[in-house]
């Protein structure tokens, strides 16, 4: 005998359009990972003014002072996962082909 759940699982929906997935229907998982990349260039500051690095740091702090910890983290690493319907999968693939 199967035990009945007191709270049935929430209906799954497409992460893009919100369409509800049918029981046993097709859905697709998108795993997206964006990672900051180092281009190998390190600026030679040996011939710059003494306060050059300090000014550069102050500039960076000014540019980021209104950003949350999460926003700063996502500047370096972002990972997202979502389920999508067939229609949104096709749109996503077309978007990727345009890149």
Q: Is the pLDDT of residue 34 over 80?
A: yes
CA distance 18 to 95: 19
CA distance 33 to 75: 12
> Mean pLDDT, the chain, as a whole number?
89
Contact in structure between 28 and 14 (CB atoms under 8 Å): no
51-66 pLDDT, tens per residue?
899 999 999 999 999 9
3-state secondary structure of 52: helix
pLDDT band at 50 (very low <50, low <70, confident <90, very high): confident
């Amino acid at each position: 005998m199967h035990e009945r759940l007191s709270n049935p699982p929430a209906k799954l929906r497409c992460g893009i359009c919100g369409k509800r997935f049918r029981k046993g229907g097709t859905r697709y998982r998108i795993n997206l990972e964006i990672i900051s990349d180092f281009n190998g260039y390190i600026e030679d500051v040996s011939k710059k003014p003494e306060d050059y690095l300090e000014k550069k740091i102050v500039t960076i702090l000014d540019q980021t002072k209104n950003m949350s910890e999460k926003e700063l983290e996502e500047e370096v690493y972002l990972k997202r996962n979502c389920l999508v319907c067939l229609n949104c999968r096709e749109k996503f693939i077309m978007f990727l082909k345009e890149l």
